[in-house]
Amino acid sequence: MKLLIKNARLVQPDVSQWADVLIADGKIAEVAACIAANDAEVIDAAHMLLFPGGIDPHVHLHLPVAAGFSADDFQTGSRAALAGGTTTLIDFVTPARAQSLVKALELRLAEAENCHCDYSFHISPVGWHPTLPDEIRECVTMGFPSFKVYMAYLQTIGVEEDTLMRIMKAVAKAGGLMAVHCETGRELDELRNSFAEQGFKAPLFHPRSRPAYTESNAVKTLIDLVAKTNCPVYIVHVSTADSLRHIQKAQQAGMPVFAETCPHYLLFSEKQYEGDFDQAAPFVMSPPLRTEHHVEALWQAIADRTIQSIGTDHCPFQLQQKREGRHDFRLIPNGVGGIEERMLLLYHFGVNSGRISIERFVELTASSAASIFSLNNKGRIVAGADADLVLWDPQRKKTISAARHRSQCDHSIYEGISVTGSPAIVIKRGKVVLNDDMFFPDVKGNCLFRGSRAV
């Protein structure tokens, strides 16, 4: 079936133009000033913006932790993503210690089969073993060139600096890219235990035990390792002004350092931890929310391009799971949702408030991630690309609520926030999955085996 989108204001990172877009067999067949309908079904996109389908490069669906699995699996999480205009996700493969990366990848591929978005994975080495370099190479050959390492969580999945350096060398040699969670793990463990031993166990001590310098010191350490290994890095969920300063300096020196932040760091401050347990615990994520000064610095870094991409780190837990930590903040499962709200929030608080242009919005929500993670058919509206598209109604108003969202989570940290601008029609590989309030999410996602990255 062919679809023809007429009269759209087509938005790309470099330019916006009025154009028609013809879709055939799940691909964009033609983009031109005026295309005849012939046998195509026509969608009139007058007064709409046409964006490439969103790419969320940082989600944790069906993530096992001590409190159980994160609230969304691949099915519910991807439906929520589609409803919010995101058509591609990158999740994670986290092996057990000493388990082969390739074996863990195979198991995770099976878990993701019911994903409705297109998807790929960052592969997370959680330690060093002698065959790791071969496994890294094999993952790259299989089309999975990005890896992720945690400098925090040393008791479970994190790695120490010497191991990080060995992994970075192996990833660089294989032509891959490393996503990195930057927080100084050892110091965090000491601070967390010290607060708890003194009886300070409320959620407020989650941010107090993860001060801003623990992130920025880890960023600095990582950048020093980039200089030694020449491994390209993508620093996930950056939340502090000093981290941004290190990142900007590295980028200005021509180092391969990319940065991401998340909607929650742009919209909230650490004041969220001041309420009672049920108010504060939903905001427990790592790194934690910061003071207003950092929030402003993040917006500035989005404007000046120090930050390339907005991911969600989507990893919500039900309130009951959060309550596992009601007597000890160390037991509160870390993570918040946002997969469905990412584009709405960035549009409302970024574009409508005049902080960013619509072209920059497209870069931050889709095009930059496509280019950093070698998603070659995504993130642009050009002939030959996958027909993942969002017709965005800049006037459509919405109030976010857990009562209406598609996520399985029983609460939303964005509850009650009203936004202007949201998807009217979402198209995934040429199929309409959202049309006004009609939702047809039962498309099948494709696993994206990516091409190797030119580094």
Q: How far is the CB of 398 from ligand URP (least distance, A)?
A: 25
186 vs 398 by CB, closer to ligand URP: 186
Q: How far is the CB of 54 from Zn ion (least distance, A)?
A: 17
Taking phi over 0 as left and psi of -120 to 50 as alpha, with beta for the rest, 223 belongs to: alpha
Q: How far is the CB of 58 from ligand URP (least distance, A)?
A: 8
Does residue 65 contact residue 71 with C-beta atoms inside 8 Å?
Answer: no
Q: How far is the CB of 211 from ligand URP (least distance, A)?
A: 16
In the bound state, the residue with its beta carbon closest to Zn ion is: 313
The helix or strand, by DSSP H or E, that contains position 10, with its residue range, turns out to be strand 2-11
77 binds ligand URP per the rule CB under 6 A: no
Does residue 124 contact residue 92 with C-beta atoms inside 8 Å?
Answer: yes
Helix axes 292-303 and 241-252, enclosed angle (nearest 10):
30
Q: How far is the CB of 284 from ligand URP (least distance, A)?
A: 7
49 vs 126 by CB, closer to ligand URP: 126
291 to 87, 268, 272, 295: CA distances (angstroms): 32, 9, 10, 7
Site map (CB under 6 A) of ligand URP, residues 5-44, x = contact: ----------------------------------------
The single residue listed with the structure tokens 């166990």 is 201
Which of ligand URP, Zn ion, none does 334 bind, CB closer than 5 to 8 A by kind? ligand URP
Q: How far is the CB of 317 from Zn ion (least distance, A)?
A: 13
Which of Zn ion, ligand URP, none does 77 bind, CB closer than 5 to 8 A by kind? none
Query: What phi and psi values does residue 58 have, to the nearest 5 degrees?
Result: -155, 90
List beta partners, residue 122. Answer: 92
Q: How far is the CB of 124 from ligand URP (least distance, A)?
A: 10
In the window 227-246, what residues touch ligand URP (CB under 6 A)? Answer: none
315 binds ligand URP per the rule CB under 6 A: yes
Task: Kindly state the DSSP code that residue 349 receives in the 8-state scheme.
Answer: I
Does residue 392 contact residue 10 with C-beta atoms inside 8 Å?
Answer: no
12 vs 334 by CB, closer to ligand URP: 334
Distant-in-sequence, close-in-space partners of 180: CB < 8 Å, separation ≥ 6: 148, 149, 150, 151, 164, 222, 233, 234, 235, 236
Report d(CA 431, CA 388) in Å as an integer: 9
In the window 169-198, what residues touch ligand URP (CB under 6 A)? Answer: 181
Contact pick of 56, 118, 260, 313 for ligand URP (by CB under 6 A): 313
312 binds ligand URP per the rule CB under 6 A: no
Contact pick of 76, 124, 286, 377 for ligand URP (by CB under 6 A): 286
158 vs 430 by CB, closer to ligand URP: 158
157 vs 362 by CB, closer to ligand URP: 157
* Cα end-to-end span (Å), the chain: 39
Task: Kindly state the DSSP code that residue 398 receives in the 8-state scheme.
Answer: E
In the window 280-319, what residues touch Zn ion (CB under 5 A)? Answer: 313
Q: How far is the CB of 345 from Zn ion (least distance, A)?
A: 18
In the window 316-335, what residues touch ligand URP (CB under 6 A)? Answer: 334-335
334 vs 367 by CB, closer to ligand URP: 334
Does residue 339 contact residue 412 with C-beta atoms inside 8 Å?
Answer: no
β strands within 344-430, DSSP E: 389-399, 418-428
191 vs 255 by CB, closer to ligand URP: 191
List beta partners, residue 20. Answer: 32
285 binds ligand URP per the rule CB under 6 A: yes
Q: How far is the CB of 412 from Zn ion (least distance, A)?
A: 18
Report d(CA 356, CA 351) in Å as an integer: 5
Does residue 74 contact residue 117 with C-beta atoms inside 8 Å?
Answer: no
Report d(CA 164, CA 168) in Å as an integer: 6
Of 435, 443, 444, 427, the residue nearest 28 (C-alpha): 427
90 vs 165 by CB, closer to Zn ion: 90
Of 390, 237, 238, the residue nearest 315 (C-alpha): 237
181 vs 290 by CB, closer to ligand URP: 181
List beta partners, residue 269. Answer: none
144 vs 150 by CB, closer to Zn ion: 150
Which of ligand URP, Zn ion, none does 285 bind, CB closer than 5 to 8 A by kind? ligand URP
Residue 198 structure tokens: 């003194």
Q: List contacts with ligand URP (CB under 6 A).
A: 60, 181, 285-286, 313, 315, 334-335
Q: List contacts with Zn ion (CB under 5 A).
A: 313
